[in-house]
Amino acid sequence: MTRPSEATVLLDLPAVAGRSALRAGLMAMRVAPTALPADRRGRDSVLRTLADRPRAVAFVDISQGGASMPPTLLQLDATLPRDASRQRIVLTRLAAGPGFGHVSDADRRWVRHLGFADLIAEFDAQDCEGSLRGALDLVAQALALEPLTPAELARYARVMNEVHDGASPRATIRTLCGLSAEALCALLGRSLDIAERTYHLQRYPQCFVGSEAAAWISRHLQRSVPEALALGQALMSLGLLVHVAHEHPFLDDKLFYRLAASHAAGALDPGDVLTELMGSKGVSIADRSHLGKPYPRCWIGSEGVDHLVARHGLQRHDAWVLLHRLMQFGLIEHVVHARPFIDGAFYYRFAGLPADGEHR
């Protein structure tokens, strides 16, 4: 296999197994990837030149929640020209760690609506027909190369993969059930008894019982109860499963949990929802205080849910899912970065927006 001399793949990805699997696939295509500049100004400058480099593809990670400061989707959108070169920029959410996120179909549609190639949550060397295959096929098409055969990809990705993931939530899920985290969440959503339940006169809609879920996973996926609990905990780490009051891990007990999945939420564009919330008729942004500590220009989580329920006729869970996803994009943050998005009396701010003066 040969490649054009100008063929280039640029990477701005965290040092995780997904990056190693992608690099192995690229090397199998005889394409040696190049790192994008680490600083934001340098990275954005290179990305803006893609229009003049028709055989260049870039992978940029936008995982939020860690010590690093990756760009958010809207910061990239404001910085980069809206031209065909965006179709050669693949966004990822590869970082491993609590709360670093998942990717829904609605998330991917928003990213594509803004002109980018895709938003990908994992490159798994053990899943050579999944997102790793899709990314490499995109590279092959953009660089006018022959795509790798399944056998070639399997051989290179599994042998040349320098970093093997054995402990992350996604690796746990893949090892125990052979599915992606998002696919497991969808399977549970179709299979569990999800209904409104009551505890101490408090109603909890669209939830399931932890012990029943653990039993279903153990029975249908042929796993021990500890392994079933590990699967649930992994989903929690990615934000795909939550306790109804955000107070417990996933336990084999009569506790109520929800999945961060909603057909109604998936039908709405996250960008449109964000614009609504920030508009003049959106949430009430004000200076607030708690226990004598001031929190400027924030809003209350339950009021954000109230707004979406009234505006779109959603159930509260559906509205929560939308706000939860915006937080995964780094566009909503808790005022002291101590909580996920909760439908309650907690303070949040809009974050990760383009700075004044950013331009396309």
**Do 153 and 13 sit in the same domain of this protein?**
yes
Domain boundary among 234, 260, 286: 260
Lowest mean pLDDT of 106-120, 155-169, 248-262, name the range.
Answer: 155-169
**Do 192 and 112 sit in the same domain of this protein?**
no
Residue range 302-312: average pLDDT? 97
Residue range 213-231: average pLDDT? 97
Residue 167 confidence (pLDDT) above 60: yes
User: Which has the higher per-residue pLDDT, 17 or 9?
Assistant: 9
- Alpha carbon separation from 94 to 59, 208, 262 (Å, rounded): 11, 29, 23
Residue recorded with tokens 């040349």: 160
Q: If phi over 0 gives left and psi between -120 and 50 gives alpha, with beta otherwise, what is residue 239?
A: left
Q: Grade residue 159 by pLDDT with cuts at 50, 70 and 90.
A: low
Residue 357 confidence (pLDDT) above 60: no
In a domain, 74, yes or no: yes
In a domain, 291, yes or no: yes
In a domain, 357, yes or no: no
pLDDT score of 113: 96
**Do 191 and 302 sit in the same domain of this protein?**
no
Model-level pTM? 0.92
In a domain, 356, yes or no: no
**Do 173 and 242 sit in the same domain of this protein?**
yes
In a domain, 358, yes or no: no
pLDDT digits (tens, 9 = 90+) for 318-337: 999 999 999 999 999 999 99
- Full residue range of the structural domain in which residue 285 is found: 264-350
Distance in Å from the first CA to the final CA of the chain: 37
Percentage of residues of the chain with pLDDT beyond 90 = 72
pLDDT score of 352: 94
CATH code at position 206: 1.10.10.10
Determine the Cα–Cα distance for residues 309 and 283; give it in Å rounded to an integer. 12
pLDDT digits (tens, 9 = 90+) for 72-124: 999 999 999 999 999 999 999 998 666 677 999 999 999 999 999 999 999 88
Domain boundary among 214, 234, 260: 260
In a domain, 1, yes or no: no
**Do 140 and 185 sit in the same domain of this protein?**
no
Token output for 212: 């029943």
Residue recorded with tokens 């022959």: 146
In a domain, 185, yes or no: yes
Residue 190 confidence (pLDDT) above 60: yes
Domain count along the chain: 3
**Do 253 and 292 sit in the same domain of this protein?**
no
Domain boundary among 260, 275, 309: 260
Q: Beta strand 8-12 with 56-61: parallel, antiparallel or unpaired?
A: parallel
Residue 293 confidence (pLDDT) above 50: yes
**Do 141 and 186 sit in the same domain of this protein?**
no
In a domain, 359, yes or no: no
Q: At what angle do helices 169-177 and 225-237 cross, to 10 degrees?
A: 140
pLDDT score of 1: 46
Determine the Cα–Cα distance for residues 338 and 276; give it in Å rounded to an integer. 25
Cβ-Cβ contacts under 8 Å for 226 (sequence gap 6 or more)? none
Alpha helix segments (H runs only) across the chain: 17-28, 40-47, 73-79, 105-113, 131-142, 150-159, 169-177, 181-191, 210-220, 225-237, 263-266, 270-278, 301-312, 316-328
